[in-house]
Amino acid sequence: MSNLFVETKSNGQIYPKNNNNIRSLYDHQRKAMANLDIINRNAAYSTLVVLPTGGGKTYTAAVWLLKNAIDRKKKILWIAHRKTLLDQAANTFQEYAYSEMIPDISYFRYRIISGSSEHDRMIDIDKKDDLLIMSKDSAGRNLQALDKWLKGEDEIYFIVDEAHHSTAKTYRKIIDYVKKKVKNVKLIGLTATPFRTAENEQGLLAKIYTDGVENGVVVCNDKGITYQISLKELISRQILSQPVIESYNTDEDYGRFIGAKELERIQRLDILPEDLADEMAKNAPRNKFIVEQYVANKKKYGQTIVFAVNVLHAISLSKIFNEYGIKAGYVVSDIRDDVTGVKRSDKDNIAVLEGYKQGKIQVIVNVNMLTEGVDLPKTQTVFLARPTVSKILMTQMIGRALRGEKAGGTKKAYIVSFVDNGLDRIAWSNPETIFEGNNDFADTAIEYEKRDIRLIAISKIEEFAKMLNDTVDTEKFEKVEFTKRIPIGMYAFTYLEENGLDISYQVMVYDSTQNAYQQLMKALPELFEIYGNKEEYLSEEKLSEMEEQCRNTFFLGEIIPPYDEKDIINILKYYAQYETAPTFYTFDDLDKSKIDVCSIAKYIVKQRMEPMAQAEYVRQLWNDGDDNILRLFFGRKKYFQKQLDIEIHRLTAPDIFDEENVVYGKRQFEKMSLYEIGQIAPDYEKELREKIFQKALTADGMYICACCGKKYSNRLQLQVDHIIPLNRGGKTTLDNLQILCRSCNSKKGDKL
């Protein structure tokens, strides 16, 4: 049985092609290679090559490495975080391995390593491999597997794809490990966006990439860039198409599908609720409207790729295009018979793609199948029939149409969005923002204000909904003036989940939570040291334990609006990956007067408006203009009306309360846990904790553990403990509470 095998594309030998490479280099690619030649004179270096989406980063690096590394029999380690990037790199080396690039070798060996079943494992690494293309997580979990491959090497080329992620812990761990094993590491990071992350992350990136080329000379600076060209420059050179952004409103309203949970799921994970996606897919007027826009402009739009919300949507749109006389096909992953009644295979998809390349098909409808790795140069237009909050996905979708005339594409690229009503509170990715930083396409101050308003609105929708629900007690919220319930800023950050998914997250900060968050950010390094966290991805159990410690240390007492434990968990996930606190962005430039319900209420009361006049005034405010910030913020008029009624009531009848006609029973606090007390009387819980910590304070200002006697300068590693547990008759009273360190508390819990 040992002689049984199956052919795999995960490893093999690549032989030089005898003919010459017919793909000519663009000027920017030649300059990038020339600058790499300059820095390559150094025995070791660490640098970035910055080319925008569509600029040919992988091709430029692979062709240069074939000549400068592979042909010189120097090993290459290529790291990326997604399977598609690994496959793309391997395909590029295979496709452009011409004899003119590697005249001095007869072949070279490659191997792709990741957690995918299609790829090899770390244990499969062979000393004779010349090119290792591996996922950063596979490498990070078993770095020792590289030892035999690296042994005896005095020089290695180390490529980090999507290098703006290099600041993540696993990337840094791999880089440091390889540098310890090999004397001369030539580290090259490839990226389109080197400095779009937070300022403190830029500092980390500058520590990794320290060498660059300026005016033909190698320099050490805080940029570490060997070559860089802007998106705008590639467009002006006709290597990329001139983008023409268009937008159509479908007049369809989907607001009823978006509640607080759906809103958050869309914003965080870019996943449309299933019922919303199905409604869009089955909506005949919407689908017809999309097709009719193409039919009316088919000469201008030319060959077009349509991105649909799901498989059903792709099939439906394709059918309508054909009914209108437009030759169209759809490309989707395998379809189950019981879902659509249709069976789709890879051969079917390939046939559609070939028909499109030959011009026999004018429109391809797909569901995220054509975002990466497929070359369709004659594409002139992209229809965005599905919204997305992901800037990465938006860039990938737009990129399908950006190949310019000199690259065998088109002069103009039409990016056509279809906008639906009722979804405007979601901070959708805007095609125009992909080109920000280039004067012709930069967002205006108004657009940034709208973005901030949308982000704040997402954080408030659940609060507004609760105030309309008579079964939910919102009295505490209603006592806080509306302007105090508007965030003063946010912590905004992105991180990678273990599955490679980019997560974008915003933590809204209020007057009530600002100090607590500031203290938390300062304490993060010590907190992670205390808990011994060195992994990039923390377990749910560990995250929960650390979140509870953060709550008990920083977020005690009455906090309105309150903090959200999910916010703390996401901050912890981010810190675990980047070992730096996220950046705080203020809303100082936001004109809050546009959403100040207090001012509106004061005006109504001052004018002594009668009910009819008040109703008309509110109607005018709500319907005023297409870009009404008030409407954008509240989303639903009933949310706005409820907040307005609360503020008017505060001004006109501040002392009126409903008559109490029920006398409820009493539950003694001393029989409840501290956490339970905190849910009912947070200020009393805070008072108890403060008093017990005060008891544990020594004369030298240190806190002492009641068990081991060890002293601590702060409360991060300390916990309040019941001397006699509640389940053994103990009570939550000062004489039954003590301070223990985490270690002693854990040991006591094990004994119990």
Q: Is the pLDDT score of 295 beyond 90? A: yes
- Please check whether the domain covering 669-751 is classified as CATH 1.10.30.50: yes
Is the pLDDT score of 499 beyond 90?
no
Q: Which fold has domain 11-229?
A: Rossmann fold (3.40.50)
Residues 65-102: pLDDT tens digits? 999 999 999 999 999 988 878 988 999 999 999 999 99
Is residue 2 scored above 60 in pLDDT?
A: no
Condensed to tens digits (0 to 9), the pLDDT of residues 670-684 reads 899 998 898 888 999
Mean pLDDT, rounded, of the chain: 84
d(CA 587, CA 566): 22
pLDDT single digits (tens) 27-73? 999 999 999 999 999 999 999 999 887 788 999 999 999 999 999 99
Is the pLDDT assigned to residue 458 strictly greater than 70? no
CA distance 504 to 427: 11
Q: How far apart are CA 202 and CA 683, in angstroms?
A: 40
- The tokens for 498 are 């273990």
Q: What are phi and psi of 106, to 5 degrees?
A: -90, -25
Q: Which stretch of 177-191, 518-532, 613-627 has the lowest confidence by average pLDDT?
A: 613-627
pLDDT at 448: 57
Residue 65 has a pLDDT of: 97
Confidence at 572, pLDDT banded by 50, 70, 90: very high
* Other CB atoms within 10 Å distance of the CB of residue 153: 15
For the ranges 3-7, 86-90, 175-179, 514-518, the lowest mean pLDDT is seen at: 3-7
- The CATH fold of domain 236-443: Rossmann fold (3.40.50)
Packing angle of the helix pair 274-282, 311-323 (nearest 10 deg): 10
- Is the distance from CB of 553 to CB of 719 less than 8 angstroms? no
Task: Give tens-digit pLDDT for 504-561.
Answer: 788 889 999 999 999 999 999 999 999 988 888 899 999 999 999 999 999 998 888 8
At 358-375, the pLDDT tens digits run 999 999 998 866 555 466
Residues whose CB falls within 8 Å of the CB of residue 650, separated by 6 or more in sequence, listed in order? 478, 481, 601
What is the reported pLDDT for 84? 77
Per-residue model confidence (pLDDT) at position 199: 45
pTM given for the model:
0.72
Is pLDDT at 22 greater than 60 in this prediction?
yes
Q: And the tokens for 751?
A: 């004994």
pLDDT digits (tens, 9 = 90+) for 638-676: 888 888 888 888 888 766 545 566 777 778 888 999 988
Domains 236-443 and 669-751 share a fold: no
Q: What are the domain boundaries of the chain?
A: 11-229, 236-443, 487-586, 669-751
316 Cβ contact list (under 8 Å, min separation 6): 281, 282, 287
Rounded Cα–Cα distance for residues 561 and 552 (Å): 17
